[in-house]
Structure 1
Amino acid sequence: MIRLAANLSMLFTEHDFLDRFQAAADAGFRGVEYLFPYAHAPEALASALRESGVEQVLFNMPPGDWQAGERGLASLPGREAEFRDGVIEALRYAEALGCPRLHAMAGRLPESADSDTLAAHRATYVENLRFAAAEAARLGREVLIEPINTRDMPGYFLSRQDQAMAVLEEVGADNLRLQFDFYHCQIMEGDLIRHLERQFSAIAHVQIAGVPERHEPNVGEVHYPAIFAQLERLGYAGWVGCEYRPAAGTREGLSWGRDYGLAG
């Protein structure tokens, strides 16, 4: 059964952030995700979850200086201590919110990256992910990595599916899993269903959006009914994160989800 989670960083932005939980529940969502929780006390977020009755299914570890353009720390040489502090902080929030999985953003490469730079980033990435997975395992949590397209996020270290699978194999931690975003994969590689099938055993969470504009998933070049049917055939039991920007208001664009429990 397809279970939809609202990404509150993109959906229901008509409301203040803490009010988006109830707005998502009222629209039929039973799970929520978002980029970062750290601007709010965990107690306030936990209260919003309880009052709305939705589950917290995912958020990101601290990304560095987001306003300055940083997009994660996990692969950045020289930032290991900051990354590890972020892991501990993210796990503190995960415990308070009952969140089972955390995404560790890889970070960007410098513009003039050469082969030595790439090797240094990869080595840092692997060691940082080993640390994060070990810390998360002590608390029964999963750490996720996600290839992100380099059109939306130029220079992002992890951008292709085979690259992510190789990292998972090298790290070798059972609780290090793949976050499969159909939007990013379509932009970088296409062939979505075959990628899904090949990587299915590693996938712990998926995300959707229309391509190319990142609007509702019923608009654009990806036929999501076929994607959802294949997820169900494969026995996917996780959440489907709705990480898109509504073309108009959030509620006005939810008709695509009526077959999956949304009040569109």
Structure 2
Amino acid sequence: MKRSDFIRNSGLLFGGSLFAPGLSQASVSGGGILGTGPTFQLDYAPHQGMFSTSAGKNFLDEIKYMYDLGFRSIEDNGMPGRTIEEQTKVGELLAKLGMRMGVFVVPKGGNGANTLAAGKPDHVDIFLKGCRDSIEVAKRVNAKWITVVPGDYERRLPIGVQTANVIEALKRGAELLEPHDITMVLEPLSDTPDLFLRFTDQAYEICKAVNSPSCKILYDAYHQQKNEGNLINFMNQCWSEIAYVQVGDNPGRKEPTTGEVNFKNIFKWLYNKGYKGVVGMEHGMSKGGKEGEEALVKAYREVDNF
């Protein structure tokens, strides 16, 4: 599933209005159909739409419902596409509940149309504008991480030149982000072989070269199970540059326990490693409706019980 399809299908941008009319379908203060749950050992972060059957289409109600279920962070890749008013209200609610904002995607932060690998000044300018815009969004929702994908290969250039072009662009982005304590996290993806950034060690090499606390790795276990496997070993080798983790089982990109990945072992390893960051639930759901919501929570309770 391509990132653009995932965002669209999940309703991350506009699928559910923050200001949907009426009350939520469940009492968020009472926990709704699933009841109030304890917090998890790791900080799993759902996204909008995962509990819309029980909580309704109002994003604020859904965040409260997530809190009642025991979640303490959220993700919203499309946060920059929301209005300033929406962003502000989300930030205020998260602060009130003591929840964290996970990643959102830097607008046009690098894609097939303006790949950073090409070394073109106009492409870099688009990326830097995305960083500046993201700083303002991050202030409203108190975000500390923003996702950057460098874009596609520029196959007319040698790989070393492409890598240097990406590093130089990211250095300029990091200079903008460092004063605001914001970290761009580079995400190796598996969507297409045309993508420049696909492997953990490749991202590690780039982050070491950028040499900034504002340029680290977003390790998505779904993509890396497809690209390279050997998940714990690669995470361990590149651990110093990993600042954020996302998950989705493979095949299918659904919740843990639906595919081949042993997430209980992975989460135990993360916990023992001392990971205190967010674990983004960037995946779909194996079932719809309330049954799917219950299955989702049950799956995370199961893999969190290590």
Q: TM-score, normalised by structure 2?
A: 0.74
1:108 maps to which residue?
152
**Pairing partner for 1:199 from 238, 248, 251:** 238
CA offset at residue 63 of structure 1? 2.5
1:188 and 2:227 equivalent?
Answer: yes
Matched residue of 1:153: which SS?
Answer: coil
Letter in 1 for 2:132: I
CA distance in 2, matches of 1:138, 1:28: 33
1:93 maps to which residue?
137
Tell me if structure 1 keeps the 8 A contact 2:80–2:104: no
CA distance in 2, matches of 1:169, 1:3: 26
User: Comparing both chains, which one has the higher relative contact order based on Cα–Cα distances under 8 Å and sequence gaps of 6 or more?
Assistant: 1
Tell me which moved more, 73-82 or 203-212.
73-82
Tell me if structure 2 keeps the 8 A contact 1:6–1:33: yes
CA distance in 2, matches of 1:2, 1:229: 9
CA distance in 1, matches of 2:276, 2:242: 10
Tell me which moved more, 136-145 or 51-60.
51-60
Between the two proteins, the alignment pairs up a number of residues equal to 253
Tell me if structure 2 keeps the 8 A contact 1:57–1:99: yes
1:36 and 2:78 equivalent?
Answer: yes
1:224 maps to which residue?
263
Tell me if structure 1 keeps the 8 A contact 2:264–2:304: no
CA offset at residue 46 of structure 1? 2.8
2:163 maps to which residue?
122
Matched residue of 2:103: which SS?
Answer: strand
Per-residue CA shift, 1:185-239, capped at 9, x if unaligned?
1111111111121111211110111101101111111010000111111111111
1:135 maps to which residue?
176
2:217 maps to which residue?
178
CA distance in 2, matches of 1:180, 1:64: 18
Stretches of structure 2 that go unaligned for 5 or more consecutive residues are 1-40
Percent sequence identity over matched residues? 24
Tell me if structure 1 keeps the 8 A contact 2:47–2:282: yes
**Pairing partner for 1:3 from 22, 34, 43:** 43
CA distance in 1, matches of 2:91, 2:215: 26
Change in CA separation of 1:132 and 1:17 when aligned onto 2, cut-off 3 Å: farther
CA distance in 1, matches of 2:106, 2:113: 10
Matched residue of 2:246: which SS?
Answer: strand
Change in CA separation of 1:125 and 1:12 when aligned onto 2, cut-off 3 Å: farther
2:26 maps to which residue?
none
Task: Provide the alpha-carbon RMSD of the alignment.
Answer: 2.6
- Which has the higher Rg, Structure 1 or Structure 2? 2
Q: TM-score, normalised by structure 1?
A: 0.85
Tell me if structure 2 keeps the 8 A contact 1:42–1:97: no
Matched residue of 1:7: which SS?
Answer: coil
1:240 maps to which residue?
279
